[in-house]
Structure 1
Amino acid sequence: MRGIRNILIGTMTLGLATLFTGCGDQNQREIIRISHNQAADHPTNIGLMAFEKYIEGKLGSKYDVQIFPNELLGSQVNTVELTQTGAINFTVASNAILESFDDVYQVFNLPYLFSSPEHYHAVMDNETIIEPIFKSTAKSGFEAVAWLDAGTRNFYTVNKPINSPEDLKGMKIRVQQSASNIRMMQLLGGSATPMGFGEVYTALQQGVIDGAENNELALTSNKHGEVCKYYSYDMHQMVPDIVIGNERFLSNLTPEEREIFDQGFKIISQVQREAWEDSVETAKAQAKEMNVQFLYPDVSAFKEKVLPLHQEVIEANPKLKPIYEKIQEVGKNLGGEDK
């Protein structure tokens, strides 16, 4: 299987190289390709467009930034691999995918890791905590350069509302492709069905799965609200999406260029996060027009079921313990509850 997978990746890389050959303009500017799986009106794309504007404003004589939304260059799994090889320069990856490259990313998949959005943002903006994690995948050919707010992850279902963990019993729920997410669903009593994000709409429509878990924008930007009519705010995770860049491209930048790119990465996060809150409110209004009902169950019942996962993961992966403790310390300093 590994051989077949490598052949497919090589074929895709060769195909993209062929596709992109000769795409430069007459000034022979170097093309910077950025891929993601969201729609053009999504905050992720808005943040990346601000990055494009900034980089071309500073280094437009050398670089031509091109953004490819909607999985135009492939699924997240594929584009992470293409970023490794340098066929594309940057992509947006889920935390779950990055977990397969370095298990330090497991820490962000822990349910109820953060006590509030403020706690979540304070941790992700803390360079002492985040920088070692971002650089952990350099050995794999890429490094993380920016984090994106993806709000809270909640359950949404086709026919059956989720008001308690017991309601999940026997239900097939799509989760991200991560061992910790699969274990989370086991603890909640549901049946985890890992699959790529681009497959979810069809799986919901055809009854392959009974529901999924994601933020509100999945209902509208990705049309899941056309099929799912119940959205339950159990708020089990706050998991960032991560912008990653090819290590070779980044290391070949001059110090002056890298400084400009680093500022551009900060702009991605800033603009994306500013767009996020408004986008969520717009998505909720649109979802209600699609007859989606928003439910507010007792969060403590869900939390009680899954908190044992914290100890399980830390015992299995001891290097997470100091990171976990720093995250909890940030929460205590903000006045958040102790877990």
Structure 2
Amino acid sequence: MLILFLGITFSCKQTSDTKVMYLGHTLPQSHPVHKGIVEFQKALEKKSNGSLIVKIFPDAQLGSEREVLELLQIGSVAATKVSAATLSNFVPEYNVFGMPYLFRDKQHQFEVLEGEIGKSILEKGSEFWLRGLCYYDAGSRSFYTSDKAIRTPDDLKGLKIRVMNNQMAINMVNSMGGSATPLSYGELYTAIQQGVVDGAENNPPSFVSSNHYEISKYYTLDQHSTLPDVLLIGTKYWDKLSDQEKNWVQEAADESAQAQKVFWNESVEASMKTAKAAGVEIIIPEKNLFAEKSKPVLDKFLKEFPELAPMVNQIKNKD
């Protein structure tokens, strides 16, 4: 019944003069990625002189990331934002971005994402009715714990660390000596509070917006993975657009990606101030120790996906 309702209500709704794009995602409206999506909304309406309208449904109003992706595939919803980790379940190439210490720095990351490699991966999603439009900055993921500080990989031994239900993330934590524990994000606050897990890993804005900083007093900026978010449009919607409308959508997405980087940097700065003010100890470790421990993850990945080895080498060797 829900799918039938959504299909009737959301699918490429239009009048003689306008087309409405329904976009659902799971983030709160205060999140810098949501602010980037709002910029996409504004830019597209302006470029199209109001003939293409985006209606945004944040806060998981339309379901989880996986559920909204399925709604895109059947054409009930037009667009969404999801983590590259979630997309790796559909498009194996997205797994590459979850590799520990793949990027040297932020500049290297976005040269790859906004270059030939990144664009080719966005297009590959079309095979699964999920066309990528652009990448949003989702920062770097780092460890945080409630009772024990992590200063070296050895400190992870015996600790249960919550991870996304993603094999790359599981392998990474286990390779460093921790015990990877997949768990729903919505259950994580209580799980840390009750000692079900000892900690988790995420970027600074998520660490603070989830209020995990209230119960996790150690934040180790090892920055082990740098997974972007991806703005997607369902091909069932995309294919109904004219060439001019497709150009407007892509241009608006590209402009929103640049604006979102600014929102992200501002949010990271504000989040770190909030965490420090709450008494969280910020630890800057020797990242090379963590990188060395995570090397088996790369070896395992390339054994499973040997066809992606040239892409990994191209990324690592990019000037």
TM band (smaller chain) = over 0.9
Structure 1 residue runs of 5 or longer lacking an equivalent are 1-10, 334-339
Residue 270 (structure 2) aligns with: 282
Residue 4 (structure 2) aligns with: 14
Residue 4 (structure 1) aligns with: none
Alpha-carbon distance change, 303 to 25 in structure 1, aligned in 2, over 3 angstroms = closer
State yes or no: 1:326 paired with 2:314. yes
Aligned with residue 188 of structure 1, among 163, 169, 176: 176
Aligned with residue 62 of structure 1, among 51, 58, 68: 51
Structure 2 residue runs of 5 or longer lacking an equivalent are none
Matches of 1:125 and 1:21, distance apart in 2: 30
Alpha-carbon distance change, 174 to 23 in structure 1, aligned in 2, over 3 angstroms = same
Aligned with residue 134 of structure 2, among 128, 146, 162: 146
Shift of the alpha carbon at 1:84?
1.4
Aligned with residue 271 of structure 1, among 254, 259, 273: 259
State yes or no: 1:162 paired with 2:150. yes
TM-score, normalized by length of structure 2?
A: 0.93
Residue 130 (structure 1) aligns with: 118
State yes or no: 1:53 paired with 2:45. no
Alpha-carbon distance change, 273 to 22 in structure 1, aligned in 2, over 3 angstroms = closer
1:108-158 Cα shifts (integer Å, max 9, x gaps): 1110111112211211111x2122211222121111111011111100112
In 2, are the aligned partners of 1:151 and 1:239 still within 8 Å (CA)?
Answer: yes
Q: How many positions carry a matched residue from both structures?
A: 319
Residue 38 (structure 1) aligns with: 27
Residue 118 (structure 1) aligns with: 107
Matches of 1:57 and 1:329, distance apart in 2: 40
Shift of the alpha carbon at 1:21?
6.7
Alpha-carbon distance change, 60 to 183 in structure 1, aligned in 2, over 3 angstroms = same
Aligned with residue 296 of structure 1, among 284, 300, 311: 284
Aligned with residue 240 of structure 2, among 228, 252, 258: 252
Shift of the alpha carbon at 1:55?
1.3
Matches of 2:66 and 2:10, distance apart in 1: 23
In 2, are the aligned partners of 1:47 and 1:267 still within 8 Å (CA)?
Answer: no
Matches of 2:47 and 2:274, distance apart in 1: 38
TM-score, normalized by length of structure 1?
A: 0.88
Matches of 1:35 and 1:283, distance apart in 2: 25
Aligned with residue 228 of structure 1, among 203, 208, 216: 216
In 2, are the aligned partners of 1:145 and 1:265 still within 8 Å (CA)?
Answer: yes
In 1, are the aligned partners of 2:10 and 2:22 still within 8 Å (CA)?
Answer: no
In 1, are the aligned partners of 2:12 and 2:19 still within 8 Å (CA)?
Answer: no
Alpha-carbon distance change, 60 to 82 in structure 1, aligned in 2, over 3 angstroms = farther
Matches of 2:105 and 2:11, distance apart in 1: 48
Residue 187 (structure 2) aligns with: 199
RMSD: 2.1
Matches of 1:149 and 1:260, distance apart in 2: 22
Matches of 2:48 and 2:291, distance apart in 1: 48
SS at match of 1:319: helix
Aligned sequence identity (%): 34
